[in-house]
Every structure is written in structure tokens, then in C-alpha cells.
Structure 1
Amino acid sequence: MKKILLLAAVLFTGVATYAQNGPKIEFKSDTVDYGTTTKEEDSGLRVFEFTNTGNADLIITDVKSTCGCTVPSKPKDPIKPGQAGKIEVKYNMHPGPIRKTITVQSNAVNYPEGTVALKLKGEVVEKGKVNVLEKKKSLMDQ
């Protein structure tokens, strides 16, 4: 009985150690906040920065957006352990709220199936229009 328990403990430790090996992706932030902006003042380009904190090459296989108004671009080359990378996102800046999700597919072992969801938020207003809440806030500050 002791041999079976010892064998089980050794196997469990081996599996746990093996599961931690491989590429790991760590984002500086999983959300980009555009704040309140206008199409005339902002190009809509933002960057999600990340680092491979694992011990194998990180490969970004796919990056998708929830709609055609947001165009992400992925790194073409593998990211070596310890190196940083970036995913650029271009939003079309149509007036209205920004609530978009970017799905990143990779070989990272620290996320289920290597899938990470990144978020974009904010609001694009037409130039010259003032947000009612912002107007009230500025009047209170005076």
C-alpha cells in the first residue's frame, strides 16, 4: 500500500511540474480604455503589450475581433522566453460607446487552450458635442 501511495505522489508531482513548462503570456493590461475622444483627435490605434514569461517560444496563432470595426494585428514571429511583444488594434472611431473584445489564440500554457480575451472600452463623441456628465463636473470644479 505504501508503494502505491509513493508511486501516486511521484506521478502527481511529475504531472504538476510538466504542466508548468512551456510558453506563458503575461499582458501588462488586458483592457485598453480610450476614454472620451473624437474621431478628429484620435487615430484609434492602441497596443496591448505582453511578455513571454515561460521557458519555450510563444506563438500567437490567431487574433480576432468581435466585429469588423476593430482590426487587430498579431506578431508574425515566435516570442522567445523573456522577450516582449505587442498586439496592435485599430478601431474605426465611429461615434458611440466602445465595448469590443479581442480574442488571442496562442500556445500559452497559463490560459485554458491558450485563449486570452482582451477588452476595448471608451466612447467616441462627435466633435463639438459635450457630454452632459462632463459639463456638470466642470461646472462643479469652478
Structure 2
Amino acid sequence: MKVYISIILVLTLGFACKMTNSEREPLTSDIITSKTKIEFEEEVFDFGQMTQGEKVSFEFKFENIGDAPLLILSVKPSCGCTVSEDWPDYPIEPGGAGVIPVEFNSEGKSGHQSKSITLVSNTDPRTTVLMIEGDIIAPELND
């Protein structure tokens, strides 16, 4: 009896996994190797001045201005104080647009800060470097 239950469980899980994978459009080698062009509204965001410990969020808006689908393969901030999550992980058709959301945490930082976010995609060149910068002011200490 345990054997039958185990077999049914394995078949059910296998079927469920197959359904999940088939719902997504497969990434073909044509999409990954084709070259396209990405254009950002701005590649540098200056957040101005902020007090140490504050956070600032920004969305880098872009458009696929090429002739092939755009695929963003990775988005890597230069340090742990900058977070970039939830970028499009699916092909963006020519003429399509999207955003790369980033958040900068100024905790423990002071002075002028300049941080990079490296985007890897099927463009030529394959990498695009986005920047966020500004000045962190240390909080005043009360005596």
C-alpha cells in the first residue's frame, strides 16, 4: 500500500512540475544570442542630499529600441547598500518598455556616495552600468 501511495505522489508531483514549466514561454537560444538595443531615460540618478539612515528608491525606465526581444539576464549592484529586485525576467518585445527598481540604504554611510548597478542583457555591449549618487549628511548629535 505504501508503494502505491509513493508512486501516486511521485506521478502527481511530476505532473504538477510539468504544468508549471509549460506555462512559461521557453527561452530559446535565438532570444539569448540575438542582439538588441536598450535605451534608458536616464542612466544616472542623483538623489541629492539625505540624512544618514534614510532610504531612497528609484526606477530606471528603459525601452527596447532594437529589432529583437530584450532579455535582462542579471542586475548586480556594486554593494549591499543598494538593492535591485523584481526586474523583468521575461523577453521584452521591440518597442516594449520596463523598469529596473533600485533602493539605496544610507545606513552607516557619509559624504558623497556613488554606487553602480551593472545590467547584463542580450545587447551590444552586453553590459550597461547605471549609477546612483548623492551626499549623505551625518545626523546631528544632541549633547
Q: TM-score range by the shorter chain?
A: 0.5 to 0.7
**Aligned-pair CA distance for 1:75:** 1.4
Partner SS, residue 82 of structure 1 = coil
CA distance in 1, matches of 2:138, 2:59: 24
Give TM-score, length-normalised by structure 1.
0.66
Mapping for residues 1-142 of structure 1, pairs under 5 Å: 22-38=35-51, 43-73=55-85, 74-94=87-107, 95-96=109-110, 97-109=112-124, 112=125, 114-127=126-139
Gaps of 5+ in 2: 1-33
Gaps of 5+ in 1: 1-20, 130-142
Letter in 2 for 1:25: I
Q: 1:3 is matched with which residue?
A: none
- Find runs of 4+ consecutive structure 1 residues off by over 6 angstroms: none
Please give the root-mean-square deviation of Cα atoms over the aligned residues, in Å: 2.0
**Aligned-pair CA distance for 1:125:** 1.6
Q: How many residues align?
A: 105
Give TM-score, length-normalised by structure 2.
0.66
